[in-house]
A and B are shown apart, each in its own frame.
Chain A
Amino acid sequence: MIPFYAQRQLVFLRKASQLRGLYSFLLLLSGTSAWAQSPSVIDSVQQLPNVRVEGVKLSRFAVGSRVLTLDSAALAPYRTGSLTDVLSARTPLYLKNYGPGQLSTITMRGTSAQHTAVLWNGFNIMLPTLGQTDFSLLPVSGNTQIDVQPGPAASLYGSGAVGGTLLLSSPVRWGAGLRATAQIDGGSFGLRAGSLEGSFSNQKLALRTSLSYRQADNNFHYSSPELGGTVRRRQEYARLWQASVAQDFTLRVGQRGELTAALWLTDTDRQLQPAIGAASSNAQERDQSRRLTAGYRLVGVRHEWAVRAAWFEDVLNYRDDSNGLSESEVHTTQAQAEHTWNVASTFSVRLGAEAQHFAARVDGYGPLALTENRYAGYGLLRFDPTSRLHLSLNLRQALLPGRRPPLTPTLGAEWQLLETATQTVQLKGNASRSYRAPTLNERYWRPGGNPNLLPESGFGYEAGLVHTVRKTPAHLMLQTELTAYRQLVDDWVQWLPGTTGVWAPSNLRKVRAQGLEASTQLTWKPGAYQLTSRLAYAYTQSEKVQGTLNDTDPVGRQLPYVPLHTAAFTTDHQWHDWQATTSCTFTGYRYTDASGLNFLPSYFLVNASVGRTLVLTPTWKLVGLVQGFNLTNLDYQSYLNRAMPPRSMALSVRLAWR
């Protein structure tokens, strides 16, 4: 058996669309890169007073990429849930999930959990120790928009943007006045949740406060194969408790300035669900994150300056019967400064710099606090030679202690091939280098941490086609997008046991990920009835193509927990004051080891909801929503031998003022 300190280390290592209201068309406009990046849409779709100049969004430099946006309407049914819930129901992304509310990590475009950068208001919030994000620790209520951008984009988003990037933000709706909602949820297996949200905005000030709370016993039944046949057991030791407090603040200072600040506190206390057939060691984990950011932007006609700073505190305390308590606390301080020069309406240049300071006090690093600084400089360029051709060239050079990652450029292009009254066809593509800085655990964990690890580096390219049809009389819009990509990630890091039994990470191998992404989205509003439907499919092939001598994993095998096929089909219906949604996701088989010895079978999951809005008075509304999950009562596993809940339901009642 593995020695206990390695077990603890392993435990740590393991430590992983749209509901459319009246905004359907707007959403389609903002929800696809094709439209979001057309020169006319420089910023928010909201009405602006007079001729106020808006800043240039970062996404303007992401030319040639695919972006899926989940806006506040799409997130609404999940407002007391976590990002795991919404991403796994609404997208074909595969999240490796250890149980409801348990560790949930992502794989985008065939890469590892550490290869998807998660940014909150422009700052990377991946846990610096593990270098990955547990999506069950991110309550949906903290933000009002999620943008998913698959593919390498390190030049824009920094370390870890290898397989893709998730951007969490809460775009301001100016002049919306005062609004408030209160919601309570109850559901199967002891689910109790609630949220309170209030917002105010005029043309000068915007505020949003969001509180949410969730607890669940997760004492669902699961099948346990035992001597004498399958036994129906009740899940034990999977209780959780989670809370989130978010506060956003934006103040316009004069005609040109804008002051922003945001606070996001999350706290999760959970029992770690034991594997089916394994003894519970009463493992418990407490995760607390405190995130604070502030920034100032000055926007002129041609020049724009911005400074931002962020301070994060991430606490992860783990305890089990065998190893006792293991504590970690990391303080991350980040600062960014940038200048944008809009040379012409078709030509923008942005130069910026970023500094990150990590201070970690982690039991596994020894008794002393440890610090690390990382820096990066970047230059972004957007040029539209004609109204039909958009180009971007982005560069980033990061500086890491002792190591210099490669210069990471991205070249992107979009070309409007065809444009008629009803149809458009757009070609797009990009090529990008990316990198991932070694995590603090990889460098400093004792024993085993390897301070000499090289940053991982990737080179990827993609090409795609977007076809849009609009039939105005029928209020029909159909948008189809097809993307093919390939990426090579070199110096891929993995932990292996050494000759003395100590596990250590090293740069082991080169991995090639390639695949296809296809999606088609239909919006149709013949009358009172309104339909939005989205079908998305991903084919993901990811395998080791080359390795060092110490790397015994076979080449040419699909990586573990990377499904070859995933698909999501969602429909959203609205008719008078009724609404209904369905979501059907398919997850193909996944190998559970690097040799392809064993696999978990593929599964279809079906969720649905029905809701009704009651207008009580012109300003008060009551919304009732019934949600059903795993409607076919499928016995499935996302991660090997971790039980997932059978058919279950949740009921929510929301009271909205304005």
Chain B
Amino acid sequence: MKSFSAFSSVPARLVLGAAAAFSLLACDPDPDVEPAEPIVETKTVFVVNEGSFLQTNAEISSFSKATNALVNRSLFNAANNRPLGDVAQNMAVRDSTGYIVVNNSNKLEVVNLRTFRSLATITGLKLPRYFAAASSEKGYVTETISYAAAAGQVSVINLKTNTVSKTIAVGKQPERLLVVGNRLYVTNNGGSTVTVINTETDAVEGTITVGDAPNSLVLDRNNRVWVLSSGRVVYDASYNIDYTLTSKGSLSSFTPGSLTASTRIFSTNQSQPGRLSINGSRDQLYYTFQGGVYRLSINDNDLPATPVFRRRNIYGLGIDPQDNTIYTGLAPSFSTAGKVVRYRNTGAAIDSFNVNIGPNGFVFY
């Protein structure tokens, strides 16, 4: 038919050519999910990537200390062929099982650490934050419940059946928790106390007053518990920080069994200290403050005035218990790859590698 000679026109040819080319060009990239390799104990570092809020893109990356290389950037998906969930807040290990707290999916993912395959999903939690195991049978999870709630809770998890066996009311916005002997210490970040729970009876034994907004805690070699508090940040009616009312951060310590702590106050309220960590021999404390990583010995009388090193956007901190290498997770924004930068104990940078969005913590396995 004569009219279709129109297709021989130059622009029409271009368009048809483009359409043909496009069918070749329009292929998707290869999904960058490496098959999960067997995980080597004592040589693996798991990086908890929080992901971006409301996008269900939390992930765990694995890094090999044997090869000093990232093994799998998206380990959970590679092993289980599904996303981990929305906002991975924390990961903890008991024996050869990993427990990943997925905050905005209200769940705990339980994985076999050798394969990273899912063993169970514990659902029905209420904005869970951190997990700690007391034994092979029993674990605890802190839960915010809601940011408007006056009190948070700790759920007791039966690690044999992977179910919630009971809940214990604690203070407002409970964060990190620590098991020492037969006691569980829970930092009540929305207040200024640590709740003490007997792990045999699950009864609250009492509370220890520390600084405002405790956020993290560790146990030292002398069996003393250290609690870091960020200080209470107060906003004015215009949502600007009111520094006349904002309290300073503090570092408290106490011995298990005692309900009183001794507390040291930081020099300024312009920055909020956080992420208290301890080295392998459990005599050096590390934390983030004023855009850097600080260190003090458990025997030091004064808080350090200068950091080991400074770094913008630190979002996660971990100290390798084997060699005291400092791992920092950087989250420059929540729409771009996070980065892990490793430092020697002297503060000299070793190397860095990209992970997923929002690396907020490390597990040395």
Contact = CB atoms under 8 A, between A and B. Distances in A.
A553 B336 contact: yes
A425 to B, nearest CB: 8
B241 A500 contact: yes
Contact of B26 (A466, A480, A519, A588): A588
Given A278-B104, A476-B3, A535-B19, A641 B56 contact: yes
B167 interface: no
B336 A554 contact: yes
A516 B53 CA distance: 34
Interface stretch (A75-83, A138-146, A201-209, A598-606): A598-606
B181 interface: no
B3 to A, nearest CB: 4
Interface stretch (B81-89, B257-265, B295-303): B81-89
B59 to A, nearest CB: 9
A635 interface: no
A469 B11 CA distance: 11
**Main secondary structure on chain B at its contact with chain A?**
loop
B22 A465 contact: no
Given A500-B271, A594-B333, A640-B57, A279 B106 contact: yes
A597 B238 contact: no
B86 A277 contact: yes
A276 B15 contact: no
Nearest to A603: B28
B313 A497 contact: yes
A303 interface: no
B331 A593 contact: no
A302 B130 CA distance: 76
Contacts of B335: 553, 560, 593-594
B337 A597 contact: yes
B322 interface: no
A275 interface: yes
Interface residues of B, number: 69
B55 interface: yes
B66 interface: no
B255 interface: no
A615 interface: no
Nearest to A519: B15
B120 interface: yes
A481 B50 CA distance: 46
A548 to B, nearest CB: 12
A575 B6 CA distance: 24
Given A478-B12, A497-B313, A537-B18, A641 B83 contact: yes
Given A446-B238, A640-B55, A278 B6 contact: no
Nearest to A5: B239
B334 A279 contact: no
A552 interface: yes
B26 A467 contact: no
A387 interface: no
Contacts of B31: 599
A460 to B, nearest CB: 21
A548 B281 CA distance: 42
A10 B335 CA distance: 12
A480 B12 contact: yes
B118 A593 contact: no
Contact of B241 (A227, A447, A602): A447
B110 to A, nearest CB: 9
A602 B82 contact: no
Interface stretch (A66-74, A316-324, A620-628): A316-324
Interface string B73-107: 11000001111011101000000000000011110
Given A364-B239, A446-B240, A598-B32, A474 B81 contact: no
Contact of A226 (B2, B26, B54, B121): B121
Interface in A473-525: 474, 476, 478, 480-482, 494-497, 499-500, 502, 516, 518-520
Interface in A78-115: none
Interface string A529-564: 000000101010000000000001110000010001
Interface string A578-605: 0000000010110011110111011000
Question: Which among A423, A537, A554, A598 has the highest number of chain B CB atoms within 10 Å?
Answer: A598
Contact of B332 (A478, A496, A535): A496
Contacts of A565: 22, 25-26
Contacts of A276: 56
B196 interface: no
Interface in A283-329: 321-324
B105 A278 contact: yes
Given A1-B87, A276-B56, A598-B57, A225 B81 contact: yes
B15 A589 contact: no
Given A1-B50, A277-B56, A447-B239, A516 B32 contact: no
A446 B9 contact: no
Contacts of A226: 82, 121
A567 interface: yes
Q: Report, nearest first, the 9 A-B pairs whose CB atoms are least far apart.
A: A225-B82, A366-B238, A595-B337, A278-B86, A552-B332, A446-B239, A467-B11, A277-B56, A594-B336
Given A1-B89, A482-B14, A552-B332, 10 more contacts: A10-B53, A225-B82, A227-B82, A497-B332, A497-B333, A552-B333, A567-B19, A598-B32, A598-B74, A640-B56
Interface of A: 1-2, 4-5, 7, 10-11, 14, 225-227, 274-279, 321-324, 364-367, 423, 425, 446-447, 465-467, 469, 471, 474, 476, 478, 480-482, 494-497, 499-500, 502, 516, 518-520, 535, 537, 539, 552-554, 560, 564-565, 567, 586, 588-589, 592-595, 597-599, 601-602, 640-641
18 contacts: A1-B103, A5-B239, A14-B54, A226-B121, A367-B238, A478-B6, A480-B11, A535-B15, A539-B18, A552-B333, A554-B337, A567-B22, A588-B26, A589-B28, A593-B335, A593-B337, A595-B337, A599-B28
Interface of B: 1-3, 6, 9-12, 14-15, 18-19, 22, 25-26, 28-29, 31-32, 50, 52-57, 73-74, 80-83, 85-87, 89, 103-106, 118, 120-121, 127, 146-148, 235, 237-241, 271-272, 291, 312-313, 331-337, 354, 356-357, 360
